[in-house]
């Protein structure tokens, strides 16, 4: 029996691949547990800076394994959500590399990632309303944060698919590539992120994710300790020295 999720390392990037191609990489509980464990590993290991989530054999993820659902199995993990991700994103950046379909829960997994690289023939969508379900794993919340709310509402209520090119036009997809090139492009993007100071990257991600919920009068108070912690780090000193000495910095994450 093959592993439900494949794990590999590329430089400082952890590649997490859903490995159920016969089921179009539908998520069951085993997949959720494996992704959750991989994300814990990503945050724990100092040699890893970025994660990439993708699917095997030309499909990102078709959503929840409906056969397993009918049999009484639920893929959501307590405190972690669908795929072990939608309710508990890692502290480090996570990129979705999307080929083929990212539908229903698959779309919700992509939306739970920080950045999306997609093949030009990929498709996104929340078809839950067509199946008597609700996109309750973050899709309804995150889609309206990533594209205009009225457009997001139309897709949520009709269940219609979004082509990668349209998604790119709305800003949902960061980089659009030829078919078969999503993972390679995601790894290039990951390498670019991993070249930067890890504490700075983590603080930047946290501030940008949390700031929309801050009231105007508390923005600077909430941001200040996060910024000051980075400025007081050894890496901040290293960055300044490396710039003055015209060399590449050596980050230690401290």
Q: Enumerate the active-site residues.
A: 108, 128
Count CA within 13 A, CB hemisphere, residue 214: 15
Structure tokens at 76: 């959501």
Structure tokens at 27: 């998520």
Answer yes or no: are the C-beta atoms of 35 and 5 closer than 8 Å.
yes
Calpha distance 25→4 (Å, rounded) = 9
Give whole-number Cα distances, 218 to 85, 136, 165, 224, 230, in Å. Answer: 29, 30, 38, 10, 20
Residue 160: count of CB within 10 angstroms of its CB:
12
Q: Order of strands across the sheet with 5-10?
A: 5-10, 13-18, 50-55, 94-98, 115-119, 175-177
């Amino acid at each position: 029996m093959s592993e439900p999720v494949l794990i590999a390392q590329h430089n400082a990037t952890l590649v997490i691949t859903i490995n159920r191609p016969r089921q179009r990489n539908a998520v069951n509980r085993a997949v959720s547990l494996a992704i959750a464990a991989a994300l814990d590993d990503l945050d724990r290991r100092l040699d890893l800076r970025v994660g990439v989530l993708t699917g095997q054999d030309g499909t990102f993820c078709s959503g929840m394994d409906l056969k397993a659902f009918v049999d009484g199995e639920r893929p959501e993990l307590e405190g972690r959500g669908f795929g072990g991700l939608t309710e508990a994103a890692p502290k480090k950046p996570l990129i979705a590399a999307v080929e083929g379909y990212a539908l229903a829960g698959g779309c919700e997994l992509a939306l739970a990632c920080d950045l999306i690289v997609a093949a030009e023939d990929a498709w996104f969508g929340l078809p839950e309303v067509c199946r008597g379900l609700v996109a309750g794993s973050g899709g309804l919340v995150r889609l309206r944060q990533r594209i205009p709310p009225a457009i997001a509402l139309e897709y949520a209520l009709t269940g219609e698919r979004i082509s990668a090119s349209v998604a790119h036009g709305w800003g949902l997809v960061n980089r659009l590539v030829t078919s078969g090139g999503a993972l390679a492009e995601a790894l290039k993007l990951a390498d670019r992120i991993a070249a930067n100071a890890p504490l700075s990257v983590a603080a930047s991600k946290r501030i940008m994710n949390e700031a929309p919920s801050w009231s105007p009068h508390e923005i600077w108070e909430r941001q200040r300790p996060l910024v000051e912690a980075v400025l007081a780090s050894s890496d901040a000193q290293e960055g300044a020295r490396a710039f003055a000495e015209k060399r590449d910095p050596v980050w230690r994450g401290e």
